[in-house]
Chain A
Amino acid sequence: MALHILSLRCTLLAAVTAAATAAPLPPDHAARLVRGAELFQREVRATLLQHCHQCHGGDATKGGLDITTRDLLLKGGESGPVVVPFDAAKSRLYRLAAHLEMPGMPNKAPKLADRQIAALAAWINDGAPYDKPLVGTGAAAAGRLVTDADRQFWSFQPLNTTPAPAVRDAAWPKGDVDRFILARLEARGLAPSAAADRRVLARRLHLDFTGLPPAPVVVEAFVKDTAPDAVARLVDSLLASPHYGERWGRHWLDLARFAESHGFEQDYDRPHAYHYRDFVIRALNADMPFDQFVQWQIAGDELAPGNPLALMATGFLGAGVFPTQLTEKEFESARYDELDDMAGTMGTAMLGLTIGCARCHDHKFDPIPTRDYYRLTAAFSRTIRSEVELDLASETHAAALAAWSAKRRSLDDQLAKFEAVQLPGRFDVWAKKAAGEWGALFPWLVLDEAKVQSLDGSTFTPQADGSMLLAGKNPNTDRWVITTLPLQGTLTALRVEALADASLKKQGPGRADNGNFSLTDLRVFAQPADGSKPRARVKLTRPRATFEQNAGGLSVASSIDADARQTGWAVDPQFGKNHAAVFEFDGPISAPGGVVLTLELDYFTNTRHVIGRPRFSVTTVPSPAPLAGGMQLQSILTMARLAQELRLTRLTDAQRFALISMNHPLDGAWKALCKALEEHDAARPKPVMTKVQVCSEGVKPMKHHADDRGFPHFYKEVHFLRRGDSAQKGDVAQPGYLQVLTRGGKDETAWAAPLPQDTTTSHRRAALARWITDPRHGAGHLLARVIVNRLWQHHFGRGLVGTPSDFGAQGEKPTHPELLDFLAGELIRNGWRLKPLHRQMALSAAYQQAATFDAVKAQGDPQNTLHWRHTPQRLEAEVIRDSVLSVSGRLDPALFGPGTLDEASRRRSIYFFVKRSRLVPTMQLFDAPEPLVGQGARPATVIAPQALLFMNSPQVRAAAKDLATALQKSAASPAQSVPASYLAALGRAPSPTELAASVAFVAAQEAAYRSSGRADAAHLALADFCQALFGLNEFIYIE
Chain B
Amino acid sequence: MKADMNGMMHRRAMLQRCGLGAGALGLHGLLHEEGLLAAPAADPLAPRKPHFAGKARRVIWIFVNGGQSQVDTWDYKPELARRHGQTLEGFDRFTGFFANAVGGLMKSPFAFARHGQCGKWVSSIFPHLSRHVDRMAFVHSLYTESNNHSPALFMMNCGLPRMGFPCVGSWVTYGLGSESRSLPAFVVMSDPRGRGLPKGHAANWGAGFLPSVFQGTHFRPQGEPIDNLKRPQEMSAAQQRAQLDLVAGLNRLHHARHPGEGELGARIESFELAYRMQVAAPEALDIAQEPESIRKLYGLDQKHCAHFAAQCLMARRLVERGTRFVQIYSGGMENQLSWDGHNDIAGNHTGFAQESDQPTAALIEDLAQRGMLEDTLVVWAGEFGRLPVAQKSDKPGRDHNPHAMTAWMAGGGIRGGTTYGATDDIGHKAAVDRVHVNDLHATLLHLLGMDHEGLTYRLNGRDFRLTDVAGKVIRPILA
Pick out which of these stretches binds chain A: B272-280, B283-291, B295-303, B310-318: B272-280
Question: Are A806 and B461 in contact, CB atoms less than 8 angstroms apart?
Answer: yes
Separation in Å of the A268 CB from the closest CB of chain B? 12
A996 with B26, Cβ < 8 A, contacts A930-B206, A943-B270 known: yes
Residues in B neighbouring A936, C-beta threshold 8 A: 460
Report the nearest B residue to A61, measured CB to CB. Answer: B470
A930 with B246, Cβ < 8 A, contacts A327-B94, A919-B202 known: no
Question: Are A357 and B239 in contact, CB atoms less than 8 angstroms apart?
Answer: no
B147 within 8 A of A: yes
Question: Are B264 and A1033 in contact, CB atoms less than 8 angstroms apart?
Answer: yes
Residues in A neighbouring B469, C-beta threshold 8 A: 59-60
Instruction: Please report the C-alpha to C-alpha distance between residue A144 and residue B439 in the assembled complex, in whole angstroms.
Output: 32
Chain A 1009-1039 interface 0/1 with B at a Cβ cutoff of 8 Å (1 = within): 1001010000010001101100111100101
Question: Are B271 and A930 in contact, CB atoms less than 8 angstroms apart?
Answer: no
Question: Are B149 and A265 in contact, CB atoms less than 8 angstroms apart?
Answer: yes
* Contacting residue for A994 out of B42, B232, B253, B268, CB 8 A: B253
A1005 with B239, Cβ < 8 A, contacts A932-B208, A957-B232 known: yes
Pick out which of these stretches binds chain B: A179-187, A443-451, A521-529, A946-954: A946-954
A11 within 8 A of B: no
Question: Are A1028 and B246 in contact, CB atoms less than 8 angstroms apart?
Answer: yes
Residues in A neighbouring B230, C-beta threshold 8 A: 952
Separation in Å of the B225 CB from the closest CB of chain A? 13
B394 within 8 A of A: no
Report the nearest B residue to A108, measured CB to CB. Answer: B453
* Contacting residue for A921 out of B227, B232, B240, CB 8 A: B227
Instruction: Please report the C-alpha to C-alpha distance between residue A918 and residue B151 in the assembled complex, in whole angstroms.
Output: 19
A948 with B229, Cβ < 8 A, contacts A337-B162, A1003-B23 known: yes
Pick out which of these stretches binds chain A: B117-125, B130-138, B254-262: B254-262
Residues in A neighbouring B184, C-beta threshold 8 A: 945
Residues in A neighbouring B42, C-beta threshold 8 A: 942
Among A805, A858, A1028, find the residue whose CB has the most chain B CB atoms closer than 10 A. A1028
Separation in Å of the A92 CB from the closest CB of chain B? 18
Report the nearest B residue to A918, measured CB to CB. Answer: B202
A617 within 8 A of B: no
Residues in A neighbouring B146, C-beta threshold 8 A: 330
Question: Are B27 and A1032 in contact, CB atoms less than 8 angstroms apart?
Answer: no
Instruction: Please report the C-alpha to C-alpha distance between residue A933 and residue B209 in the assembled complex, in whole angstroms.
Output: 8
* Contacting residue for B434 out of A78, A337, A954, CB 8 A: A78
* Contacting residue for A997 out of B23, B232, B234, CB 8 A: B23
Question: Are B150 and A265 in contact, CB atoms less than 8 angstroms apart?
Answer: yes
A931-966 residues at the B interface, CB under 8 angstroms = 932-936, 939-954, 957
* Contacting residue for B228 out of A62, A851, A952, CB 8 A: A952
Instruction: Please report the C-alpha to C-alpha distance between residue A78 and residue B421 in the assembled complex, in whole angstroms.
Output: 14
Question: Are A993 and B277 in contact, CB atoms less than 8 angstroms apart?
Answer: no
Among A851, A854, A942, find the residue whose CB has the most chain B CB atoms closer than 10 A. A942
Question: Are A952 and B26 in contact, CB atoms less than 8 angstroms apart?
Answer: no
Question: Are B200 and A948 in contact, CB atoms less than 8 angstroms apart?
Answer: no
A958-1011 residues at the B interface, CB under 8 angstroms = 991, 993-994, 996-1001, 1003-1005, 1008-1009
B59 within 8 A of A: no
Pick out which of these stretches binds chain A: B50-58, B107-115, B211-219, B335-343: B211-219
Chain A 442-478 interface 0/1 with B at a Cβ cutoff of 8 Å (1 = within): 0000000000000000000000000000000000000
Instruction: Please report the C-alpha to C-alpha distance between residue A241 and residue B213 in the assembled complex, in whole angstroms.
Output: 33
Inter-chain CB contacts under 8 Å: number: 266
Question: Are A932 and B209 in contact, CB atoms less than 8 angstroms apart?
Answer: yes
A1024 with B209, Cβ < 8 A, contacts A263-B163, A946-B270 known: no
A839-889 residues at the B interface, CB under 8 angstroms = 851, 853-855, 858, 872, 874
B350 within 8 A of A: no
Question: Are A1027 and B461 in contact, CB atoms less than 8 angstroms apart?
Answer: no
Separation in Å of the B186 CB from the closest CB of chain A? 12
B164 within 8 A of A: yes
Residues in B neighbouring A337, C-beta threshold 8 A: 162
Instruction: Please report the C-alpha to C-alpha distance between residue A924 and residue B170 in the assembled complex, in whole angstroms.
Output: 14
A790 within 8 A of B: no
A1034 with B236, Cβ < 8 A, contacts A265-B150, A951-B244 known: no
B459 within 8 A of A: yes
Chain A 12-43 interface 0/1 with B at a Cβ cutoff of 8 Å (1 = within): 00000000000000000000000000000000
A323 within 8 A of B: yes
B247 within 8 A of A: yes
A1008 with B460, Cβ < 8 A, contacts A327-B148, A933-B209, A994-B250 known: no
Residues in B neighbouring A949, C-beta threshold 8 A: 227-228
Residues in A neighbouring B261, C-beta threshold 8 A: 853, 872, 1037
Question: Are B271 and A947 in contact, CB atoms less than 8 angstroms apart?
Answer: yes
B44 within 8 A of A: yes
Among A354, A939, A1003, A1024, find the residue whose CB has the most chain B CB atoms closer than 10 A. A1024
Residues in A neighbouring B229, C-beta threshold 8 A: 948, 952
- Per the CB 8 Å criterion, the residue count for chain A at the interface is 96
Residues in A neighbouring B203, C-beta threshold 8 A: 263-264, 916-917, 932
Residues in B neighbouring A60, C-beta threshold 8 A: 469-470
Question: Are B260 and A858 in contact, CB atoms less than 8 angstroms apart?
Answer: yes
Question: Are A942 and B41 in contact, CB atoms less than 8 angstroms apart?
Answer: yes
Report the nearest A residue to B215, measured CB to CB. Answer: A924
Question: Are A951 and B274 in contact, CB atoms less than 8 angstroms apart?
Answer: yes
B2 within 8 A of A: no
A1004 with B242, Cβ < 8 A, contacts A853-B259, A944-B270, A997-B250 known: yes
Instruction: Please report the C-alpha to C-alpha distance between residue A337 and residue B163 in the assembled complex, in whole angstroms.
Output: 10
Instruction: Please report the C-alpha to C-alpha distance between residue A810 and residue B459 in the assembled complex, in whole angstroms.
Output: 10
Residues in A neighbouring B380, C-beta threshold 8 A: none
Instruction: Please report the C-alpha to C-alpha distance between residue A953 and residue B278 in the assembled complex, in whole angstroms.
Output: 13
B181 within 8 A of A: yes
Residues in A neighbouring B212, C-beta threshold 8 A: 924-925, 927-930, 941
Among B239, B250, B261, B278, find the residue whose CB has the most chain A CB atoms closer than 10 A. B250
Separation in Å of the B80 CB from the closest CB of chain A? 25
Question: Are B273 and A947 in contact, CB atoms less than 8 angstroms apart?
Answer: yes
Residues in B neighbouring A1028, C-beta threshold 8 A: 243, 246-247, 250
Instruction: Please report the C-alpha to C-alpha distance between residue A323 and residue B154 in the assembled complex, in whole angstroms.
Output: 12
Chain A 321-343 interface 0/1 with B at a Cβ cutoff of 8 Å (1 = within): 10101111110000001000000
Residues in A neighbouring B253, C-beta threshold 8 A: 991, 993-994
Report the nearest B residue to A924, measured CB to CB. Answer: B212
B370 within 8 A of A: no
B304 within 8 A of A: no
Instruction: Please report the C-alpha to C-alpha distance between residue A872 and residue B267 in the assembled complex, in whole angstroms.
Output: 14
Question: Are A997 and B27 in contact, CB atoms less than 8 angstroms apart?
Answer: yes
Question: Are B242 and A944 in contact, CB atoms less than 8 angstroms apart?
Answer: no
Instruction: Please report the C-alpha to C-alpha distance between residue A943 and residue B43 in the assembled complex, in whole angstroms.
Output: 7
B251 within 8 A of A: yes
* Contacting residue for A265 out of B200, B207, B213, B243, CB 8 A: B200
A327 with B209, Cβ < 8 A, contacts A267-B201, A949-B228 known: no
* Contacting residue for B202 out of A357, A805, A917, A946, CB 8 A: A917
Question: Are B460 and A1014 in contact, CB atoms less than 8 angstroms apart?
Answer: no
Question: Are A1033 and B201 in contact, CB atoms less than 8 angstroms apart?
Answer: no
Instruction: Please report the C-alpha to C-alpha distance between residue A153 and residue B358 in the assembled complex, in whole angstroms.
Output: 63
Question: Are A329 and B271 in contact, CB atoms less than 8 angstroms apart?
Answer: no
Residues in B neighbouring A917, C-beta threshold 8 A: 197, 200-203
In the complex, besides A808-B461, A942-B270, A1008-B242, 11 extra interface pairs with C-beta distance below 8 angstroms are A329-B147, A803-B461, A916-B201, A930-B164, A935-B209, A951-B228, A951-B231, A993-B27, A1001-B243, A1005-B239, A1028-B247
Question: What are 11 A-B interface contacts by the 8 Å CB criterion?
Answer: A62-B470, A328-B94, A872-B261, A930-B207, A939-B44, A941-B211, A943-B44, A951-B271, A951-B275, A997-B246, A1020-B234
Cβ-closest 5 pairs across A and B: A1000-B23, A932-B164, A806-B461, A853-B260, A947-B274
Chain B positions within 8 Å of A, measured between CB atoms, are 21-27, 30, 41-45, 94, 97, 99, 146-151, 162-164, 181-182, 184, 197, 199-203, 206-209, 211-213, 215, 227-232, 234-236, 238-240, 242-244, 246-247, 249-251, 253-255, 258-261, 263-264, 266-268, 270-271, 273-275, 277-278, 434, 458-462, 469-470, 472
